[in-house]
Chains A and B, each alone.
Chain A
């Protein structure tokens, strides 16, 4: 075989420098993210050492990362399967509004707050299922289907909330969401659990395997007997579920359901996923990478806030980071062998 190897099939393994090989391995790509995060921490420590390197500040960073983080986990799975979900931010807002409405109704006094949680999750799954059905069975491009949902869910949230902010009065719920377990906030625990579940789902289950297969080669997956359409539908339902969870989280943090909750979160989530090394065309990606992507952006925000820099400067830097991350990915992801 090797005797016939033609030029243009990619360099032989021996010709690749070691550092390149390390960087292109999956652990290596995460290593790059660790280095990036460490660099940010060092910058933070130098510029605002006394306030930056504290436990309370670290928890603040994690708390801020948590909601985007949960959305990003669902987004990771969708993107690995070769899709995209632009509606998660809106669906999150809608879920928070519907859940808050359930809590302010008179019956709320008789009903446990867990019902509110279930309602929010149901709203997320339902919106996700609609996305999934339209994409998988209606054969609408994911970008358009979820863009439509982005607009519609936001509008529906505005109608339901009548453009007011709905205060959640349920003390038990607020208390629960602000619980402090082993010194760590509830929001951070939720993010950790969702990330862990996402990791297991992607790496240890048939669901995850099918997701990767569909993203890697949709037609091959279909011809191997995988029900690609049904799987696609459930993937978007899952993204909706993560948006529902995020809706609950923001209710817990701000004690208010508002139609403006989760505005533009979809873009932050996509950025975190891509910076985390997941290919936008699908077929390759990791939950760990996404978690790092989320942490990098949250830390960046924190460093800027600590140094009293404007959010506009921050936005510019964020943009630069996204481009650099994607450029590095293209350099080091190696010959994917994907046929044109």
Chain B
């Protein structure tokens, strides 16, 4: 397919000035110039200054992006940059608060997923939305079954399914196979076939390669080229730079909910430039000064040869009193799982965890908490807080037996303890009886820290301590974490924001594919160096 046919012809101008010339002068040779201007192909999709906030936290602060027919437009950004929110806005799941979306040059509103499909925008989410118990054909026509008088027309569905699968380069799949038996890669094909069963012009793929191995990724790329060859635009989300080089045409970079660059050439933009665009801060985050750790500080947490089959292996590290150790790595590298296994929330298959002199029983959160470990989990709302319950109940959740005599709770003592923490941590609003759900992300994080302070924890495991926390409130959380370490706690943090890990930690463990690649003092690492390490580690 030639380059020309893939371009959108914006305007065709018949330049008739020569005719004028001809009639005016009459003595020059006659010719007509036909000019076709293709230098500004109009955008299929044009997103302008879109904003979106959730519960007071700005997820999108102004996203600009234009997608042309037949191109692979890559969206690059770290976790929390707003990629998922952007996709869901285009798919009609979220409605933007501000800005505008132009579809084929016209301003449109996408109030629900049906409308998006109606326009010709299909979305393939990371968690594939196929129904395992149905066949391929049934999945593809789910919701728009081919029927005659209310009876589904299975033969026609099968025929069209075969046609779609052939178009996607997978004629070997039978329409009657149950989807539950397919590999992740083939489920993706089904999801794509479903998108194509509608008359689509744009397909959004959210990290489609995350669940695929190298060979399957190659197939995926084949399919993507097939689609673009048919003039369909692909919006491709990933954080693997090498994929962008292989498949992408243009790149848009998001950071902190904002477009930092758009329309970059996928082939020519240097990697260093892309990383700078992804990570460069526009809000200066003040990280607290590290506090020197006394030479005689004891090792509080010792992890030795810890492993969890299929997730990570041979993880060893030590954390001394007053030290902050950070785990840096990409999503799926195993960093959160390591933390959860140390805590006993997952049962280790090898190795051991010691707190002081106590060796912990594997897979027992109760034992870990008793030994003095506290975890602030990755998903604060679904894993950390009982949202309907008041602040004080959440604060004393791990130590309520201390506020009870013979099983009877002393709520006054509980409230007093909560109030003391509220003051120490400047938790707002300072009302112990306020339900946790009404608090902002930063203050909910403080509830979790308060919980472990009340419990008298010696080891704090903090998974994404600033996720969902407004940028302004982050430095406050950072200062708090440093203060807790300085008070003699051993702290381990995990964050998808590498800058945060580097800025907060004394020691950094670089994690990729379930292994610790490097253990280095934070002062000797840069964000670029870490990304370089993990990208190499993942590719290997």
Residues of A whose CB lies within 8 Å of any CB of B are: 1-2, 4-9, 204-207, 209-210, 212-213, 216-217, 219-227, 283-284, 335-339
The answer to whether B387 and A339 touch across the interface, beta carbons within 8 angstroms, is yes
Q: Which residues of B contact A204 (CB under 8 A)?
A: 408-409
CB nearest neighbor in A for B399? A225
The answer to whether B377 and A223 touch across the interface, beta carbons within 8 angstroms, is yes
The answer to whether B53 and A283 touch across the interface, beta carbons within 8 angstroms, is no
The answer to whether B97 and A6 touch across the interface, beta carbons within 8 angstroms, is yes
CB nearest neighbor in B for A3? B56
Q: Provide 30 A-B residue pairs closer than 8 Å at the C-beta atoms, listed in order of the A residue.
A: A2-B56, A4-B56, A4-B57, A4-B58, A4-B470, A6-B53, A7-B97, A8-B54, A9-B54, A206-B404, A213-B389, A216-B386, A216-B387, A217-B385, A217-B387, A219-B382, A219-B383, A220-B382, A221-B386, A221-B397, A222-B345, A223-B345, A223-B384, A224-B398, A227-B366, A283-B388, A336-B388, A337-B387, A337-B435, A338-B388
Among B56, B97, B393, B397, residue most surrounded by chain A Cβ atoms (within 10 Å): B397
Q: Does B218 contact A (CB under 8 A)?
A: no
> How far, in Å, is A333 (CB) from chain B's closest CB?
10
The answer to whether A9 and B56 touch across the interface, beta carbons within 8 angstroms, is yes
Q: Which residues of B contact A206 (CB under 8 A)?
A: 400-401, 404, 407-409
Known: A6-B53, A224-B451. A207 touches B383 (CB 8 A): no
> How far, in Å, is A189 (CB) from chain B's closest CB?
24
In whole angstroms, how far apart are the Cα atoms of A196 and B488 in the complex?
Answer: 46
Known: A223-B384, A283-B388. A209 touches B58 (CB 8 A): no
| Interface-located stretch among B63-71, B124-132, B367-375, B498-506 | B367-375
The answer to whether A284 and B388 touch across the interface, beta carbons within 8 angstroms, is yes
In whole angstroms, how far apart are the Cα atoms of A322 and B381 in the complex?
Answer: 31
In whole angstroms, how far apart are the Cα atoms of A6 and B389 in the complex?
Answer: 22
The answer to whether B389 and A212 touch across the interface, beta carbons within 8 angstroms, is yes
CB nearest neighbor in A for B401? A206
CB nearest neighbor in A for B438? A337
For B47-64 the 0/1 string (1 means CB < 8 A from A) is 000000111111000000
Q: Which one of B366, B382, B404 lies within 8 Å of A217 (CB-CB)?
A: B382
The answer to whether B404 and A220 touch across the interface, beta carbons within 8 angstroms, is no
The answer to whether B387 and A205 touch across the interface, beta carbons within 8 angstroms, is no
> How far, in Å, is A226 (CB) from chain B's closest CB?
7
> How far, in Å, is A198 (CB) from chain B's closest CB?
14
The answer to whether B407 and A207 touch across the interface, beta carbons within 8 angstroms, is yes
Q: Does B440 contact A (CB under 8 A)?
A: yes
> How far, in Å, is B471 (CB) from chain A's closest CB?
12
CB nearest neighbor in A for B377? A223
The answer to whether B382 and A339 touch across the interface, beta carbons within 8 angstroms, is yes
Known: A4-B57, A6-B55, A226-B397. A205 touches B407 (CB 8 A): yes
Among A206, A225, A226, A283, residue most surrounded by chain B Cβ atoms (within 10 Å): A225
Within 8 A of A (CB), among B9-58: 53-58
CB nearest neighbor in B for A2? B56
Q: Which residues of B contact A212 (CB under 8 A)?
A: 386, 389, 393
CB nearest neighbor in A for B94? A8
The answer to whether A217 and B53 touch across the interface, beta carbons within 8 angstroms, is no
Q: Which residues of B contact A217 (CB under 8 A)?
A: 382-383, 385-387
CB nearest neighbor in A for B345? A223
In whole angstroms, how far apart are the Cα atoms of A209 and B390 in the complex?
Answer: 12
Among A6, A207, A222, A284, residue most surrounded by chain B Cβ atoms (within 10 Å): A6
Q: Does B437 contact A (CB under 8 A)?
A: yes
Known: A1-B440, A6-B54, A205-B407. A216 touches B389 (CB 8 A): yes
Q: Which residues of B contact A8 (CB under 8 A)?
A: 54
Within 8 A of A (CB), among B466-492: 470
Q: Which residues of B contact A213 (CB under 8 A)?
A: 386, 389, 393, 397
Known: A213-B393, A219-B382. A205 touches B53 (CB 8 A): no
CB nearest neighbor in A for B386? A216
The answer to whether A339 and B451 touch across the interface, beta carbons within 8 angstroms, is no
Q: Which residues of B contact A284 (CB under 8 A)?
A: 388
> How far, in Å, is B201 (CB) from chain A's closest CB?
29
The answer to whether A223 and B383 touch across the interface, beta carbons within 8 angstroms, is yes
Q: Does B422 contact A (CB under 8 A)?
A: no
> How far, in Å, is A150 (CB) from chain B's closest CB?
28
Q: Which residues of A contact B55 (CB under 8 A)?
A: 5-6, 9
Q: Which residues of B contact A338 (CB under 8 A)?
A: 387-388
